[in-house]
Every structure is written in structure tokens, then in C-alpha cells.
């Protein structure tokens, strides 16, 4: 691997073994980079090795709570991408430790190592006045990154869909088990974005001097209300289910009761996020500035939720 590293750009992807990471690692390898998949459990990243030639995709132990391991992960790298994030806290303070402090630590390590390009994955809804800890911690992470690495690119996707997503797969699985489909905040608007397009946005942002220091909000070509998304999904599954709107008060009570249950289906913080629209802001730079035409979910999602349909069946899904 020594020869590879001396002749090619090294890209370090923190959290690269996750859902979105596999799309990004594949594209970085395709453009010829040596890719370090920096994760706490390198064994989980071994499945990514075939995305490159022998020695090109390298699982690498690192924790964004540990300065020494992070310094090793970014040593000699020209590109760093930080994908590490949480949807729910395992223990109090995790959002701050991971989204804010961890992101800042990545940026400082990248700066100290002389990294040329840094991409920070954030989320639409990142804001100092977000009603959720998730949203405020994501914004604080952006600020921490900017303080250490002003040239960093920040990407803010809406809900991301793809073959391994936690959105359509979750609700499609639920539809098999119950005759009713609970709907939380059914009028909230979303702009679902394909994981492959988000990965393309990462690649498009690298090495472009016109994009340095920019923030880009990434949404798909269509805005959907939450209820519309569920209705469309049920239609694709050819499954009739009664959709019942759950009052916010009842939803909060349920989330409170389940707050300490392992694998809790919905937290109070997630409810706060669901209550606010998750769409590209008016005037925000997005896919157009990156030269990317976003993919409609109707072209991708049926290919992987088919296995939840009676009789199963799964079509090939692009990456």
C-alpha cells in the first residue's frame, strides 16, 4: 500500500461504514483515491474493500472522541469527509460529544495535518433555534468546523433514501405487521434525497475553488408531506392500511414512556424534528450549484422495498 499512498490522494472518511458512507467510499475509490474508512469497528468496514483494488480501501480504527487515533487517520490525507452522526442519544450529552465536539476535533486534526479539502455532513434543520437537540448540535458542529477549517464544505441533506435506509425500510416493515399505520406530524414537508446524489455532491465539492467554504442544502426534486410519503409507499407495496393521525400530545407521552427502552421507536427529540419542515431553504445553494440533477425517489425506492410486498421480490438498485 505504500506505493499507492505515495502516488495517489488519500481520502479519510470518518463513519465510512455506515449507510451513506458506502456510496461515498465507492465514488472516492472510483476516482482513484486510497480510501481510509475511519471507524471504531474496522471489521464492519471490510465489506467495502471490494469497492477498490487490492489495498485501495483500507478499514482504519479511529474514534472522533480520541485525538491520537484521529491524528493517525488523517496523516498524509488530502481529503477528509466526516459522516459521523446520531439520530438519537444513547446517553445524555451524546449529541454534543459527537455532533459538536467530535466535528470540531475532526476539523482541527485535518487542519493540523495539512489536509486540502474537508467535507462536513450536516443536515437540513441544523439551526441555533431548532426545537430539537439534534438540530442545534448539528449547527454547533458546523460552527466548530468553520472555526478550525474555514474552507470546509458543509452539506445539509434532507431525509436520505437508499437500499439500506432507516426510513422506507422501517415503515415498509411496519406495514407488514399491523393493520394500521400511525402517522406523526403528517403535514410536515420533506424533500427526500437519494444517497447516491449526496455522494455525488461530496465528489463535486472537492477541488472546486468556487465552492470553498460553502454550505449546500440537498433536497430531491419533489417536496412531499409525511402522510403522502407513507400513502405512496403503501401503494407501491399494494397494501391497504388505515392511516391514523397520532395527536402530538399522545405521541409525546408515548415517546416519554419509551425513552429508556432499548431500540426505542421514537424519541421526544425526533418528534420535535418531525414537527418542523425539512426542505431546502429559499435561496439556499444546492444541487444546481454542484451541477447535479437529483433523482426522483420513484425511480429508486420501489427497487428495494419490493421485498416487503406479499410474495417478496427485489429489483436491482443502483449505487
Q: Which tens digits make up the pLDDT trace of 127-148?
A: 999 999 999 999 999 999 999 9
3: confidence class by pLDDT, cuts 50, 70, 90: very low
Yes or no: domain 2-160+193-221+278-294 corresponds to CATH 3.30.300.30: no
Q: pTM score, two decimals?
A: 0.91
For 208-259, what is each residue's pLDDT tens digit?
899 999 999 999 999 999 999 999 999 999 988 888 887 777 766 765 655 6
User: Could you tell me which residue, 38 or 249, shows the higher pLDDT?
Assistant: 38
CA distances from 114 to 61, 75, 76, 262, 314 (A): 20, 9, 8, 41, 45
Amino acid at each position: 500500500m505504500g506505493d499507492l499512498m505515495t502516488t495517489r490522494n488519500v481520502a479519510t472518511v470518518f463513519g465510512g461504514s455506515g449507510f451513506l458512507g458506502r456510496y461515498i467510499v465507492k465514488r472516492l475509490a472510483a476516482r482513484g483515491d486510497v480510501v481510509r474508512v475511519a471507524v471504531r469497528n474496522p471489521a464492519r468496514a471490510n465489506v467495502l474493500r471490494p469497492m477498490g483494488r487490492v489495498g485501495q480501501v483500507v478499514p482504519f480504527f479511529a474514534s472522533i472522541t480520541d485525538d491520537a487515533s484521529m491524528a493517525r487517520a488523517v496523516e498524509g490525507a488530502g481529503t477528509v469527509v466526516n459522516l459521523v452522526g446520531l439520530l438519537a442519544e444513547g446517553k445524555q450529552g451524546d449529541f454534543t460529544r459527537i455532533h459538536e465536539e467530535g466535528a470540531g476535533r475532526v476539523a482541527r486534526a485535518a487542519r493540523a495535518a495539512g489536509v486540502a479539502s474537508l467535507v462536513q455532513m450536516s443536515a437540513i434543520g441544523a439551526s441555533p433555534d431548532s426545537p430539537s437537540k439534534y438540530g442545534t448540535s448539528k449547527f454547533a458542529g458546523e460552527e466548530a468546523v468553520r472555526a478550525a477549517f474555514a474552507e470546509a464544505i458543509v452539506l445539509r441533506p434532507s431525509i436520505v433514501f437508499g437500499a439500506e435506509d432507516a426510513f422506507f425500510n422501517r415503515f415498509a416493515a411496519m406495514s407488514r405487521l399491523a393493520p394500521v399505520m400511525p402517522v406523526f406530524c403528517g403535514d410536515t414537508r420533506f424533500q427526500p434525497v437519494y444517497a447516491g446524489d449526496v455522494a455525488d455532491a461530496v465528489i463535486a465539492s472537492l477541488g472546486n475553488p468556487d465552492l470553498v467554504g460553502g454550505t449546500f442544502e440537498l433536497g430531491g426534486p419533489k417536496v412531499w408531506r409525511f402522510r403522502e410519503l407513507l400513502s405512496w409507499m403503501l401503494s407501491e407495496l399494494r397494501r391497504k392500511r388505515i392511516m391514523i393521525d397520532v395527536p402530538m400530545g399522545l405521541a409525546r407521552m408515548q415517546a416519554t414512556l419509551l425513552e429508556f427502552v432499548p431500540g426505542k421507536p421514537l424519541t421526544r427529540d425526533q418528534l420535535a424534528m418531525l414537527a418542523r419542515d425539512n426542505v431546502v431553504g429559499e435561496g439556499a445553494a444546492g444541487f444546481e450549484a454542484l451541477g447535479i440533477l437529483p433523482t426522483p425517489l420513484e425511480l429508486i425506492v420501489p427497487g428495494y422495498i419490493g421485498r416487503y410486498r406479499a410474495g417478496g421480490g427485489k429489483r436491482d438498485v443502483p449505487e
